Amino acid sequence: MEKGPGVTETYAIRFKSDVRVPMRDGVRLSADIYLPDAAGPFPTVLMRTPYDNNADVMIRKGRRLANEGYACVIQDCRGRFDSEGSFYPFVNEGPDGFDTQEWIGQQPWSNGRIGMAGASYLGQVQWTSAPLRSQYLTCLAPRVMAADLFRGLNYPGGALQLNVLMTWGMRTSGRTAQSIEYDDWREAFRTLPLRDADAAAGRDLPFWRDWLEHPTYDEYWAPHDIEARWGEIAAPALNMGGWYDLYSSHTFNAFAGLRQHGRTPEARGSRLIVGPWPHALSQSTKTGDVDFGARSMVDLEALELRWFDYWLKGIDNGIDAEPPLRLFIMGTNVWRDEHEWPLARTDWQRWHFHSGGRANTLLGDGVLAPAEPTEEPSDSFVYHPEHAVPTVGGNNCCSPHIVPWGPYDQRDVEMRSDVLCYTSEPLEQDLEVTGPIQVVLYAATDGPDTDWTAKLVDVRPSGYAQNLCDGIIRARYRESLVEPSPLEPGRIYRYEIDVMVTGNVFRKGHRIRVEISSSNFPRFDRNLNTGHPIGTDRELHAAHQTVWHSRAYPSHIVLPVIPPAG
């Protein structure tokens, strides 16, 4: 099959439609198979999808891989399109993926080597089948997907990731794609109680109600936590992600987890590329408001093919000798190769919050600086869930026409009195911040529960405020995502907010800003401040919030500063 170093024949194609693959429980899943028109046997790329294996994008990929000398199996997930069974997101994908891999390995056209490909849900089916270790599974290529569904998708920081779960879940609910177009999606997101949101959309979704009935990390979610099972994965993974993807930090978790704990030397040779992209990777030079330039675009299909050529065909194309981590650094808009995550040379700096007690809005007196606070007055605001702070861009999915994703000007949000803004002086030189971001917040509320949100912003000399990353913590889960703990009203608690990740150079003359509030809606559901179980409430209570920054309560952000080269 191989013509020379890194060069392969181009093949005509044979096609097999609706091939029925038996699962262990007798359900048969439908697969379309694209084969090179040659004797074989061939290495195989497997893609498993809930979005129709007959979609144009699937057909094009199947044909392209067959042209390159691969068998390509594209399978409808259980209960979707032509496959038998009932669809319930995530639950059956591990066993179904394993059974499919075992079936492929025994076919006369298979050479016994299988790679998996695909993004989002098509990445989840890779992660969930990998620990089962089919003897034929050789490598993975997951894009934009978390390996821990509880923290990565459903309940980051303990708050329901409402936008993606509602827009995606309501549409991916029957055998075929479901069209739901509300007159006003933002009103739909306000449905109370939340457990009735499926009925309000004309749906009967057991999984929606199950998600709301399991707001803690419990036996329902544990089987979907592959981050706890890195040591069971033998296959290496080529991970692909975006700084503005909702799974950005979890893509890095997958890279670092396999590099450190993978079962085999091959798994510990996993790789990652991250660009300035949203959930749809490398589709445009522009994400949100910002054009990152022609260099921001990467041919991910070509990169993936090199990965498969190396692992499935044994072509010595040098990919194994390249640095394992490739990052696009925003601000300077350059690509850079790295070797580990977080970067070993990181200078972890605390930048503290300061004010004279009036940090409300970008016009307030909030200051961000390395200096530790002295005895300073606290800042306060009122959070009312009826008037929640709106999501403006950010790490969203999956309907940008409903809730846009990526970087946008945050100044309208920052003019709200329920948003505290802590802003640095203009920088005297460039400052690179690349790594995981954390805010440590000392705060109090007057009820049994509330939320705290944080956002990192790059402020240009013009005033344009570009969001970089954000996060949330639901107060009852401040100590544990397993056991909620109600608040004592008025008591000051320490909160650690995961603000995800970024790779950005704050240019000379720019300012660093941190926003603190109690809502980011509809990216996350609104905390109604009652302390009642999620999904059951119709009540909305105002919360009186206080943020402290003093010697005893030094609220701050931890910035992963990368020293300049040389």
Q: Could you please report the per-residue DSSP string of 479-496? A: S-SSS--PPPTT--EEEE
- Any idea what the Cα angle at residue 93 is, between residues 89 and 97, rounded to 5°? 155
Q: What is the pLDDT of residue 8?
A: 58
Domain boundaries 347-562, corresponding CATH code: 2.60.120.260
Q: 543-548 and 379-383: which strand pairing?
A: antiparallel
Band (pLDDT 50/70/90 cuts) for residue 503 is: very high
The model's pLDDT over 361-412, given as tens digits with 9 standing for 90+, comes to: 999 999 999 999 999 999 999 999 999 999 999 999 988 888 999 999 999 9
More confident residue, 43 or 177: 43
Domain boundaries, the chain: 2-160+215-283+293-329, 347-562
Q: Which residues are catalytic?
A: 120, 245, 279
Q: Check residue 180 and give its pLDDT.
A: 64
Paired with 290 in beta bridges are 287
Give the range among 186-195, 330-339, 470-479 with minimum mean pLDDT.
Answer: 186-195
Residues near 146 by beta carbon (within 8 Å), at least 6 away in sequence: 124, 152, 153, 247, 250, 251, 253, 254
Which pTM was predicted? 0.96
- CATH 3.40.50.1820, applies to 2-160+215-283+293-329: yes
What is the share, in percent, of the chain residues with pLDDT greater than 70?
97
Task: Give residue-wise pLDDT tens across range 160-214.
Answer: 999 999 989 888 877 776 666 666 788 889 999 999 998 887 788 899 999 999 9
Between 566 and 413, the more confident residue is 413
Please name the residue that has the structure tokens 């091959």: 266
% of the chain residues with pLDDT over 90? 91
- Would you state the pLDDT for residue 178? 62
d(C-alpha 263, C-alpha 273), whole Å: 22
Tell whether the model's pLDDT for residue 1 goes beyond 50.
no
Q: What is the mean pLDDT of the chain?
A: 95
What's the Cα-to-Cα distance from 143 to each of 60, 96, 286, 350, rounded to whole Å? 18, 20, 19, 32
Kindly indicate the confidence band of residue 453, based on its pLDDT and cuts at 50, 70 and 90.
Answer: very high
Q: What pLDDT score does 183 carry?
A: 64
The pLDDT assigned to 179 comes to 63
Phi, psi for 190 (deg, rounded to 5) = -85, 0
Torsion of CA 309, 278, 469, 221, to 10 degrees: -70
Spatial CA neighbour of 33 closest among 19, 52, 43: 19
Residues sharing a CB contact under 8 Å with residue 124, sequence separation 6 or more, in sequence order: 90, 93, 142, 145, 146, 149
**Per-residue pLDDT reduced to its tens digit, 70-117:** 999 999 999 999 999 999 999 999 999 999 999 999 999 999 999 999
What value does the mean pLDDT take over residues 267-283? Answer: 97
What the block records as the tokens of 50 is 């809930």
